[in-house]
Structure 1
């Protein structure tokens, strides 16, 4: 998804010494804090504005947020079989695959610029000389899943053949190649005569959804439609997210994360921007249907360990897909430790499947709380500002039941402490402290 950077009007004005820096960095303040104990409202079956569409929901193929690797943010179009399979082997060798990072997705630019005489997509023989079915077989041999990219429009974002007019043909081809995961972008989809843009997108994604079901193969369906409505106002944007949850399993809802060629400051601004729009959408997520704020940048140049740790912690507390996009063959031990933190992965993958919500805010900081299956809460204290500060909240604010004491386990340092109810910690600039809080009865 390559949506131009169009600023949205802020929901509220940031104040305090770090306000200007935060606004410049693209941080949008989340909507007013949700009640800590509230549960997400499941998106309903409504179709595009102007009328409901009745259709069976897409099968629930992702009871937990998807995890894996995608080439786009780091490599963009500079991909081939060696890059993809090399990173797949690194997933396995590093132990990340065993921790859940099990889906390898080949993004845009994998095909030739023209279909063949039968109308089929053709893998670029210079990049993938043994074809995509071979890539899939190799990934499956490693115990991994095979993901691929296409677009509902005439062309992909990088001007390769899109699927418009070939939805069933392409779905059948992907099933033949044993694809397990389809990322379907939304570039270059012309608005159909007599239809609104929203209805056009709905009908296109619904058609792909039905085509995938007709193949008889379980293919996780990642929908990009909401990203093309982020700047159209919250009403239509949220409506698109609601019907995306019917036609697919997860959805890219906003601007792309930064790519490797960008500098560190732009990457951090991109992380905070994507965090901010995703944090406001917790009420539109439900277990098995996931808001997707885009890739993890751990391993990319220009970011500090605190910044990549912040992204990992925030994505986990928001129950976001954990999809790495970096060169895993060269990742440092420190960066690998961030991606492979089992305690933080467990927060993201918690079977309760609830996106954490913002429960407290101030100038340049957020506190989020996520209910976990065993009655614990994951509590994240995020300092988006440029200087260290002490952040404080309470067990009550975080939605925890009344108890004699609370055990706090810092999921990064692994230190454990107890409190009577106050949660307070000194948080460095651009850092996030993530606790698992357990009521002691």
Structure 2
């Protein structure tokens, strides 16, 4: 409890500091006190994160789903914009001194000596004094020149501050917009061929359409599901594998969004294993509902298909409710002479798959990092972030997922479905 509180306070402190930094660079440094942009910018810098907090609270408070949908767009988009505004402004800190040096400093105008003398002589008395009787201070013109320079320096600094702010805002907004458009256009289709040990020649060329991390919720709904179904059906797969994190919400709210899954078409059907997000809600209700939609959940179970065994294990998050992964139940009594494919949401489950001599594990969970530099962070918690890798005699393929969690934005990690074609070593 104490550790969770410490982490919460630390995160809050960092967020407050980042928002203060944004206010300083995007509002204070580029506007005059009391001006319209100073007032408007100050309100926005603190109102936008408030919508993010409100979105997270509403999503867990049982408030109407319609309210969550209204708040989700600005609330989650702000998280992505916050990331790239901060990164762009930090880059701007490197550019700022270069711009200041590049801009010419105009010297203050200097009066001609003769004119200066002519102007001073009428002002002096016979004793060489100023009209008020005080002696003229030596070098009196120097402070005047300094006062003339200061407005010019302030003008240069304001120009640089505004240039950096506009550049950073343009770069961040363009990045987020492009990332959101990519998500809303639907996932791309990737193809990979995997040589599967013990796969007979008759199963050579078997195609599995792998999709993960759809994350149906307040932002991605029925239209997104329809795009995914159309993309999968266009590949004409032999089997569809949905490897977790299909939903972020209840059947009551998201049942209509999942309904297009009934249109999935493949020779041997569609199979599903749970992800961690299913257990954040009511996983049991979703498993039952997916059966009604014609999807076959594999809850620590195995199916014998022509040429290989297809097994599926629950996500590790299921351990909280006594429904964790059970590799023995899924793989314990299978014929070791047959080829095997395992559906497991998280890549970290590869270590158990190796122990059970699985030929190929199909996973998701990582989103490929979703938002750069996310891939580097995802590497800290996952053996593979995306793509195909080998662990001993077991191969692991990780899809980047077809949806998003939080911001409906992807940068440097394009969403995808993957057609995995199984190749026989004897072909």
Which bin holds the TM-score, normalised by the shorter protein? 0.3 to 0.5
Structure index of larger Rg: 2
- Give the strand-richer structure, 1 or 2: 1
